[in-house]
Structure formats: structure tokens, C-alpha cells
Amino acid sequence: MHPLVRLVGVLALLGVLGGLCVHYDRAAPTHTPYPETAALATDYGAHVGEDTLLFGTVQRVDAAADRAAIRVDSDEGAFEMAVNGFAERVEPGGVVQVYGSLRAGRTIDASTVEVVNPAGASKGYKYAVSAVGALLALASFFRRWRVDRESLSFEVRADG
């Protein structure tokens, strides 16, 4: 196959992939039955009493009252929510997923709280471990294969 034909095919597939990403972004609000964080940031009162699922960064924890304050990021800007029923051991800076009912005053009565990152440093650790894994996978691949620049393809390395 001629390299130019192969290049045109790759570019066409990348264009289709980009189009699918745009379509997914346009249809994203219909993927969940819960209010979007942007809707909560702009018109919170319209959603009071509804169930929701939020991700937030822990700001403060009051273990004695089973209560915490989380910062929720949205396209319309970040806002703070009070979480009732917060019996988790999470340091400020940790990330949690909260499911519950919205109450007046930017409060959520949590029926479930799941810890995503117990501390802010967990994110860096996850990225570092993922990068090491990706490098090991690439090293393993290129140990058995090589790039043929003339035909723009991969070829099995000769034993030796």
C-alpha cells in the first residue's frame, strides 16, 4: 500500500474520532438522570429535593457532626456544598463522590459517600504509576517491533 494512501486513511480515521468526541460532548447532558454541576451553579433552587451525584474536593471536615464542606467544580465556576452524613476519613484536599438529596442552602443529605482520593497527594501518585506502566508497555512493544520508515509500518525485529 502506498504511504500516501495510508496517511490519508489515518487522517480520515482521526477526523471521524474527533467528530465522535464532539458528538459525545454535545449529547453529554442527556447521559445522566442527575442535574449537571453547571445547572446547580447557576440555578440551585430549581433542583432542591432532587437526587444528585457530585464529585468534590474536601475543604473542611467536622467529624463530630458527620458533616463536611466540599468544593464542586463546574463550567460555570466552583461552588461549595455542605454534606450531611459524611462519616468518611478524608483529609482536606481529598476527592469524594457524593450521592444524595439536595436541600436548601447548598446542602446535600448524603446517602452514599465514596472516597476517590483520600488525600491530595493521591492524584500525583496515580499519574506517576500510570506513566511508569505506559513506559513499560512501550518498552515491551518496541523490544519486539521496530518502525520501518520507508513503508510507515511496524515490523518484527530480527532475532539476534
**What's the Rg (C-alpha) of the chain?**
23
The confidence score (pLDDT) of residue 108 equals 94
The grid coordinates of residue 60 equal 473542611
Of the candidates 50, 52, 70, 71, which has an alpha carbon nearest to the alpha carbon of residue 61?
70
Average pLDDT over residues 104-118: 88
Q: Is the pLDDT of residue 102 over 90?
A: yes
Q: Characterise 154 by phi-psi region: left (phi > 0), alpha (psi -120 to 50), beta (else).
A: beta
Please give the full DSSP string across 62-118, using - where no structure is assigned. EGGGTEEEEEE--TT--EEEEEES------TT-EEEEEEEEETTTEEEEEEEEEEES
The confidence score (pLDDT) of residue 123 equals 76
Cβ–Cβ < 8 Å for 122, 94: yes
Q: Is the pLDDT of residue 118 over 80?
A: no
Lowest mean pLDDT among 32-46, 93-107, 114-128: 114-128
The confidence score (pLDDT) of residue 80 equals 94
The confidence score (pLDDT) of residue 120 equals 66
pLDDT tens, 3-31?
899 999 999 999 999 999 888 888 876 77
- pTM, entire model: 0.60
The confidence score (pLDDT) of residue 122 equals 73
pLDDT tens, 37-87?
888 888 888 999 999 999 999 998 888 888 999 999 988 889 999 999 887
pLDDT tens, 126-154?
899 999 999 999 999 999 999 988 888 99
The confidence score (pLDDT) of residue 92 equals 85
